[in-house]
Amino acid sequence: MSNLRKTYEGGRVVAVDNISLEIKDGEFFTFLGPSGCGKTTTLRIIAGFEYPDEGSVYLGNEDVTFKKPYERNTAMVFQNYALWPHMTVYENVAYGLKVRKVGEAEQKRRVREILELVKLSGMEDRYPSQLSGGQQQRVALARALVVQPSVLLLDEPLSNLDAKLRLEMREEIKKIQRGLKITTIYVTHDQEEAMSISDRVAVMNFGKIVQIGTPEELYFAPKELFVATFFGKPNILDGIYKGEGIVEIAKGIELGVTVLSQAGLKEGDKVKVVVRPEHIAIRGRKQAESAKVWKIRGKVTMRMFAGATQELKISIEGNDGLYVYISAPSDLPIQAGEDLEIEIPSSRALAFSLK
Amino acid sequence: MSSAVFRRLRFELDRLLLLQIFFPLTYLIIFMVLPILTILLSARNYSLSLLFQPMYFNLHPTGSIYTLNKFENTIFLQFTGPSFGVILNSIIIAAIVTASASLLGIVVAFILARYKFRLKMLLRIMAIVPLLMSPFINAYVVKKLIGPGFGYNTLSWVLSHLTGMDLRISFGGIAGVILTQIITFYPIVYLNVFSSMMNIDPSLEEQAENLGSKGFKLFRTVTFPLSLPGLIAGAALVFIFSLEDVGAPIIFGIRDVLSYQIYNYFQGVRVNIASPETGALALTMLLISLTVFVLIRRQTSLRQYAMVSKGGRWVPRERRLGLKGKVAVYFVVFPLVILTMLPQIGVFLLAFSERWGSDPLPSGFTIINFIELVEIKGVFRGILNSLLYSTVAVGIIVFLGLSASYVVARLKVRGISLLDYLTTMPLAIPGLIFAFGYFYFFHRYFPNTALDPLYNPALPLILVYSIRRLPFTSRSVFAGLQQTHISLEESSLNLGASRIRTLSYIVIPLIALNIASGAMITFVYCMGETSASITLGGLGGDVSSPNHKGPITMVMLDLITSGRLAGVNLAAALGVLLMCIQIAVIVIITMIFKQSYAFIGV
Ligand SMILES: Nc1ncnc2c1ncn2[C@@H]1O[C@H](COP(=O)(O)OP(=O)(O)O)[C@@H](O)[C@H]1O
Ligand SMILES: [Mg+2]
């Protein structure tokens, strides 16, 4: 895609703003961003349901920007599955093959294979209304996969499933994609889903791409505050940059930080420091993952049990209203009201300029 | 800019969509817009001052509202109504009918929408009986019931027996026309207001009650204003229907109205004495109804219809009736609604009786009238003609309606709303205007071809039907498309299917029930079409010739007005036939298809 731009309402709503990127053959690529940021629009431009105001879309070396949807070899799985209620599972899945004039025997074979792949063998004669949500999802996937598209497009395919099924299907999709080595473009607003399933992720906001990278890159080395805060529930501390990797987060309390953003920082700049709860250690009880740590004294003011972990709210000593959250293994014996010393590795405290 | 527009069009349109736009557009322009525009042409030769002659526009009316006479012990009270000239009469009648029908319609709608009581379902069914089609013959029955005549009419007969006095009350002339039209048209208001009321979010009324509003105040401040769109649509349609109704004026012998004058033009055409001023009168009628159409445009567009038809998302609020309410419902509303059913009941009785002379009720049970429908060649010919014309028209309409509705529902290109307007406009254009426009346009520019009504009215009638009844199918199809998520089509296109394949394998099967319902309703209303049928249809010979070209409704009018022996009984039998077809279709659509049967109106 190069310089894609799409506006609605006579230019007043910019849905997609100057997007350029390249997706590799066989890659699992995800657009991630909050609702309304332009993910669906981007996907629909790729599928050919919309055309961009500016820019082009290429499949391989071919410019398909103004090709009709049925002239591109893409296959989309819709958020609501869009299964045809008047056709059986078999007819739904075979539709694309019929359109492509694949022979009867070949059709049968391919539908059978794909239904096996998505674990729906034996359901051929059912109608969509006789299937559970998860099964409908699999039919939609099978219908898209069976035509061997050059790109598989998935628009929030798991959002209508319950939590447990969502995890299962996520794994399933990943496995199938790996097996078929099919280029896949995935859209979601769920950061955890994006991280776990993708080779690369493009984080979007307000129609723009904020950062593209592997899940690890986005998690450990976000280039912008938006990306850093988009994953998990990080602590965000206000502070003043003191130079040489030091930020003052409250009177007399300093923190060693890492600056990743390209803009750079000057002394006296206002900054936000992002620290993830899971990266904060507790002296003597939870080991820090790096030796270079900054120590701060605090008091446990609240403890919330969350199964495998416990979440601790630590008020910083001598600073009313300043606190951080820590995530620790739930078997660590910690009581509310306890005084302790926390350790923040400077490599995990990311400072972003407010400009 | 222009290249962007061009690029956009190229992307959005393909050959099938272009066909779906241009076929209905061209069809509507040739067979609706052009014939109607030529009415302007035909009126051109007359200065409009002509219309202010006393014959058309008279502020010093002739005749009085009623006359009271007494001969010995017999009291004669005759309501007739003064005449204000052709144009003013039409407007005054339409205004009175609209106001009265609105009042009655609102009351019935409100009671049915908001209260729970025994026999409610029965009242709902009874309230739509007047919409069962029995053209001309229902007006005839009304005349028998309350109109002037020798001896007693049914009303006087009942009153005399009740009071013991010899009281003869009759409603004739304009008064008769007004009463007939109120009875016939009030359900249009009722249905429109009812659907508006059912679509009001119950929490809006609950909030008002919560703030202390109740009873009539609640109705006046919340319920009524929110159901105004339905009232406006219903009232406007009643106004137009009253304006163009030619049945009641013919039966009650009122010539001083626009509709009769235009009808009369066609009577003259046959013998070459057509009045040339008719063009100006047709133009007047067209302008009045177009004004009204502009008023209700929002309520009748396909898009608006779809919004209304989404009703029933919530459980509407229903209250129990208090004692006063019960009295009002059982002793006022029920009797009123029963009165409005009398014409249809009378038609049934008449169809199964031997005669209804100067007695208060028809007498002599027989089924000979139904046998004669087949045996009398001219009558049977009318039935066959109607079946043929309606079937062909429905075929055209399904094609037109499917195309136009699809485009309006799915295409996001500016200017498409024009097609929406054109598709729904026939609802508001009087049939007589079509008839006149067709005659003027096709007789003048295509003389002695199949399009010339004077040469052969068959094709022009099919064409008029296909335009006038188009809204019934297109709105049904549109509603179906609205309920079908667009992603069902997109996933087909995405898998490589062409538009035409997507249309025939995905779209049409998904909305098949809507198409079928729309087509059946359309068929019913083609069979019952009157205005064009009796004017254009009358140009192809009358019942006495076995090969005439007229449809059922023309035959009915012929039978009633020709003074033929048992003619009215035969006409009533035809009316029963029409009503039975309509009832069958209502039952199929609501019980088997589980769709809603769209009566005239929103
Ligand atoms: N057909 C449309 N008409 C007008 N605005 C639209 C249309 N489609 C999307 N938008 C707007 O474009 C923006 C991006 O929408 P979308 O791509 O659906 O976001 P996402 O899928 O990321 O939630 C939103 O502000 C949305 O309101
Ligand atoms: Mg979306």
**pLDDT, tens digit (0-9, with 9 covering 90-100), for A51-78:** 899 999 999 999 999 888 888 889 999 8
Q: How many CB atoms lie within 10 A of CB B121?
A: 9
Sorting pLDDT into bands at 50, 70 and 90, what band is B307? very low
Q: Which atom of ligand 1 is nearest to the CA of A39?
A: 22
Contacts of A51 in chain B (CB under 8 A): 7-8, 11
Sorting pLDDT into bands at 50, 70 and 90, what band is A212? very high
Q: What pLDDT shows up at residue B296?
A: 75
Token digits for B334? 């029920």
DSSP string, B301-369: SHHHHHHHHT--SSPPP-EE--HHHHHHIIIIIHHHHHHHHHHHHHHHHHHTEEE-SSSSS-EEE--HH
Expressed in angstroms, the distance from the first to the final Cα of chain B is 39
Contacts of A99 in chain B (CB under 8 A): 495-497, 501
Interface touch A76/B492, C-beta < 8 Å: no
**pLDDT, tens digit (0-9, with 9 covering 90-100), for A77-115:** 988 889 999 899 999 999 999 998 999 999 999 999 999
Distance CA B247, CA B509 (A): 41
Nearest ligand, CA of residue A44?
1
Contacts of A70 in chain B (CB under 8 A): 493-499
Q: Which atom of ligand 1 is nearest to the CA of B412?
A: 1
Contacts of B487 in chain A (CB under 8 A): 78-80, 82
Cβ atoms of A328 and A312 closer than 8 Å: yes
Nearest ligand, CA of residue A159?
2
Give the nearest chain A residue to B486 (CA atoms).
A82
Domains of chain B, earliest start first: 11-45+367-602 (1.10.3720.10)
Minimal C-alpha gap between A292 and chain B (Å): 54
Which 8-state DSSP code applies to residue A309?
Answer: E
Give the nearest chain B residue to A71 (CA atoms).
B496
Return left, alpha or beta for B279; rule: phi > 0 is left, psi -120 to 50 is alpha, else beta. Answer: alpha
Radius of gyration of chain B (CA): 25
Residue B205 above 90 pLDDT?
no
Sorting pLDDT into bands at 50, 70 and 90, what band is A267? confident
**pLDDT, tens digit (0-9, with 9 covering 90-100), for B236-256:** 989 999 999 999 999 999 999
Interface touch A95/B495, C-beta < 8 Å: yes
- Of B260 and A284, the structure prediction assigns the larger pLDDT to B260
Over the range B416-427, which residues count as b (16 or more CB within 10 Å of their CB) and which as e?
eeebbebbbbbb
Q: What pLDDT shows up at residue B137?
A: 95
* Helix extents (H) in B29-118: 34-43, 86-114
Which residues does a 6 A CB cutoff place in the pocket of ligand 1? A 8-9, 13, 15, 33, 35-41
Q: What pLDDT shows up at residue B344?
A: 95
**pLDDT, tens digit (0-9, with 9 covering 90-100), for B352-393:** 998 887 777 888 888 899 998 889 999 999 999 999 999 999
Contacts of B492 in chain A (CB under 8 A): 84, 95
Long-range contacts, stretch B25-33, CB < 8 angstroms, 24+ apart:
B25/B419, B25/B422, B27/B400, B28/B422, B28/B423, B28/B467, B29/B422, B31/B463, B31/B464, B31/B466, B31/B467, B32/B422, B32/B425, B32/B426, B32/B429, B32/B434, B32/B467, B33/B422
Residues in Cβ contact with B209 at an 8 Å cutoff, skipping those fewer than 6 apart: B218
Contacts of B11 in chain A (CB under 8 A): 51, 66
The top-scoring range by mean pLDDT among A8-12, A104-108, A291-295, B161-165 is A104-108
**pLDDT, tens digit (0-9, with 9 covering 90-100), for A142-175:** 999 999 999 999 999 998 888 888 898 899 999 9
Q: Chain B interface residues facing chain A, Cβ-Cβ under 8 Å? A: 4, 7-8, 10-11, 14, 485, 487-488, 490-499, 501, 505-506, 509-510
Q: Which residue shows structure tokens 């972990």?
A: A309
From B319, B325, B321, select the one nearest B206 (Cα to Cα).
B319
Average pLDDT over residues A16-28: 95
Token digits for A140? 């939609």
Residue A230 CA, ligand 1 centroid: distance in Å: 20
Instruction: Quote the crossing angle between the two packed helices B173-198 and B86-114, to the nearest 10°.
Output: 40
Residue A191 CA, ligand 1 centroid: distance in Å: 20
Interface touch B494/A73, C-beta < 8 Å: no
The top-scoring range by mean pLDDT among A7-11, A40-44, B74-78 is A40-44
Distances (CA, A) of A189 to A35, A138, B141, B592: 7, 21, 69, 44
Distance CA B594, CA B480 (A): 13
Given A73, A79, A84, which is nearest B506 (Cβ)?
Answer: A84
Token digits for B207? 């909030």
Q: What pLDDT shows up at residue A154?
A: 95
Single pTM value for the model: 0.82
Torsion B388-B394-B400-B403 (CA) sign: negative
Q: What pLDDT shows up at residue B310?
A: 40
From B139, B535, B559, select the one nearest B373 (Cα to Cα).
B559
Q: Which atom of ligand 1 is nearest to the CA of A31?
A: 22
Q: Which atom of ligand 1 is nearest to the CA of A207?
A: 14
Residues in Cβ contact with A220 at an 8 Å cutoff, skipping those fewer than 6 apart: none
Q: What pLDDT shows up at residue B219?
A: 83
Average pLDDT over residues B307-334: 72
Q: Does residue B83 sit in helix, strand or coil?
A: strand
Alpha carbon nearest to ligand 1 atom 13, residue? A15
Residue B452 CA, ligand 1 centroid: distance in Å: 53
Distance CA A254, CA B77 (A): 105
Minimal C-alpha gap between B14 and chain A (Å): 9
Over the range A152-168, which residues count as b (16 or more CB within 10 Å of their CB) and which as e?
bbbbbbbeebeeebbee
Distance CA B113, CA A206 (A): 47
Cβ atoms of B472 and B515 closer than 8 Å: no
Q: Of the residues A40, A46, A53, A79, which should be mutated to test ligand 1's pocket, given the most ligand atoms within 8 Å of the CB? A: A40
Return left, alpha or beta for B138; rule: phi > 0 is left, psi -120 to 50 is alpha, else beta. Answer: alpha
Sorting pLDDT into bands at 50, 70 and 90, what band is A263? low
Amino acid at B532: A
Chain A, window 50-79: residues with a beta carbon less than 8 angstroms from a chain B beta carbon:
51, 53, 66, 68-70, 73-76, 78-79
From A31, A32, A62, select the one nearest A48 (Cα to Cα).
A62
Expressed in angstroms, the distance from the first to the final Cα of chain A is 29
Average pLDDT over residues B20-45: 90
Angle, vertex CA B390, rays to CA B387 and CA B391, nearest 5 = 80
Instruction: Using a CB–CB cutoff of 8 Å, tell me whether A344 touches chain B.
Output: no
Distances (CA, A) of B544 to A150, B549, B555, B572, B576: 73, 12, 10, 18, 22
* ipTM value for the complex: 0.75
Minimal C-alpha gap between B492 and chain A (Å): 8
Give the nearest chain B residue to A64 (CA atoms).
B11
Give the nearest chain A residue to B501 (CA atoms).
A99
Contacts of A92 in chain B (CB under 8 A): none
Amino acid at A125: D
- Provide the residue count of chain A: 355
Q: Which residue shows structure tokens 């005239």?
A: B600
Give the nearest chain B residue to A51 (CA atoms).
B11
Distance CA B393, CA B397 (A): 6
User: What integer best gives the mean pLDDT of chain A?
Assistant: 90
Q: What pLDDT shows up at residue B33?
A: 95
Interface touch B510/A86, C-beta < 8 Å: yes
User: What integer best gives the mean pLDDT of chain B?
Assistant: 87
Helix%, strand%, coil% for chain B, nearest 5? 70, 5, 25
Residue A41 CA, ligand 1 centroid: distance in Å: 6
Minimal C-alpha gap between B508 and chain A (Å): 11
Interface touch B491/A99, C-beta < 8 Å: no
Instruction: Using a CB–CB cutoff of 8 Å, tell me whether A147 touches chain B.
Output: yes
Distance CA B343, CA B576 (A): 12
Cβ atoms of A275 and A326 closer than 8 Å: no
Q: Does residue A282 sit in helix, strand or coil?
A: strand
Distance CA A214, CA A81 (A): 28
Run of H or E including B378: helix B377-410
Query: Residues with beta carbon < 5 A to ion ligand 2?
Result: A 40
Q: What pLDDT shows up at residue B313?
A: 46
Residue A35 CA, ligand 2 centroid: distance in Å: 7
Distance CA A89, CA A107 (A): 13
Alpha carbon nearest to ligand 1 atom 17, residue? A38
